[in-house]
Amino acid sequence: MESTAANTAITVETTVQAPVEKVWRFWTTPHHITQWNNASDDWHTPRAENDLRVGGKFRCRMEAKDGTMGFDFEGTYTAVEEHQLIAYVLEDNRNVKIVFAPAEEGTTVTETFDAEQTHSVEMQQTGWQAILDNFKKHVEKNGMPERLHFEVSIGASADKVYRTMLEKETYTAWTSVFNPTSYYEGSWAQGSRIQFLGTGEDGAVGGMVSRIKENIPNKFVSIEHLGLVQNGAEVTSGPEVEGWAGALEDYTFTEAGEETIVAVDVDSNEEFKDFFNETWPTALQKLKALCETEA
């Protein structure tokens, strides 16, 4: 078998049809690594550990499913830039760099690694590309959210609609359609963390933990959901948050004469699609009634 030349760098690449937040999470979470980290169906990764920080280490146990062979793939992180870049050095001192870049169809993942000297460049490229392709399949089959659209025309200024939608007392009123005890804790300032909460039938407080991705007063608000709140605790990783973490909820306010058109675009998984299609129009009608009531 042809040996590789010293200092050869190999690059593999794919574009995943998912937002970078989801791609990053699936790449770095052990629960997911064990599901995609194999180049062929006769191999698997039964265990994975990941301490994602500069100086932190990762380890993946890769084995043939028939148990005839296996090895540990491990290294130390040299750079971690959330949603953008990961770099690490393997135990044999080879360097690996992964770049995550927004693309028109989702997120492009580009992986560059130093070749080892035992196998041909072609074989190494084929193997690493196969793992990357497997990663793409795993992400894309796991709940690409559907974008739902709702809108209402309200006889009030964009300023009044914006304030009515977000201020605590009136927020609780129009969102009671989703949960009669609905409220939020936190700030609507851009970049801020915020929790959307309510009491369940069992009396426990639950909801969503999110961040305000963008807030242009009277024009546009984008909420990025990070995970769930369960019994008062935030859960931002694990299978229970799949389909929620990274989902967006966007409000657009457009003045048209004496009316303001409020457009709501939300990412939804299949489980909640019917619920949202039923409740969002009712919630927007309640918002309209609040805004059009004379002060």
Q: Tell me what pLDDT residue 35 has.
A: 84
CA distance 163 to 24: 34
Q: Do the beta carbons of residue 263 and residue 149 sit within 8 Å? A: yes
Same fold, 9-141 and 147-292: yes
Beta 146-154 vs 193-199: how paired, if at all? Answer: unpaired
User: In the block, which residue shows the tokens 């008062």?
Assistant: 232
Pick 147-292's CATH classification: 3.40.50.280, 3.40.50.12780, 3.40.50.300, 3.30.530.20: 3.30.530.20
CATH topology of domain 9-141: Alpha-D-Glucose-1,6-Bisphosphate; Chain A, domain 4 (3.30.530)
Cβ neighbours of residue 274 under 8 Å, at least 6 residues apart?
Answer: none
Q: What is the DSSP string of the chain?
A: -PPPPTT-EEEEEEEESS-HHHHHHHHH-HHHHHHH--SSTTEEEEEEEE--STT-EEEEEEEETTSS-EEEEEEEEEEEETTTEEEEEETTS-EEEEEEEEETTEEEEEEEEEPPSSS-HHHHHHHHHHHHHHHHHHHHHTTPPEEEEEEEEESS-HHHHHHHHHSHHHHHHHGGGT-TT-EEEE--STT-EEEEEEE-TTS-EEEEEEEEEEEETTTEEEEEEEEEEETTEEE-SSGGGTTTTT-EEEEEEEEETTEEEEEEEEEE-HHHHHHHHHHHHHHHHHHHHHHHS--
Residue 175 has which token pair?
Answer: 């969102």
Q: Distance between CA atoms of 65 and 129, rounded to whole angstroms? A: 20
Residue 188 CA to residue 132 CA, distance in Å, equals 38
Q: Beta-carbon neighbour count of residue 35 at 10 Å?
A: 17
pLDDT recorded at residue 1: 31
What pLDDT digit, counting tens, does each position of 44-90 carry? Answer: 998 899 999 999 999 999 999 888 999 999 999 999 999 999 999 99
* Backbone φ/ψ region at 104: left (φ over 0), alpha (ψ -120 to 50), beta: alpha
In whole angstroms, what is the distance from residue 112 CA to residue 97 CA?
Answer: 5
User: What pTM was computed for the model?
Assistant: 0.55
Q: Mean pLDDT by 10-residue block, N- to C-terminus, for the chain (295 residues)?
A: 62 94 90 88 90 96 90 96 97 96 93 93 96 93 77 96 96 96 96 93 86 94 90 77 78 95 88 90 97 77
Residue boundaries of the structural domains of the chain: 9-141, 147-292
**Closest to 244 measured CA to CA, from 264, 223, 274:** 223
Question: From CA 169, how far away is CA 174, in angstroms rounded?
Answer: 9
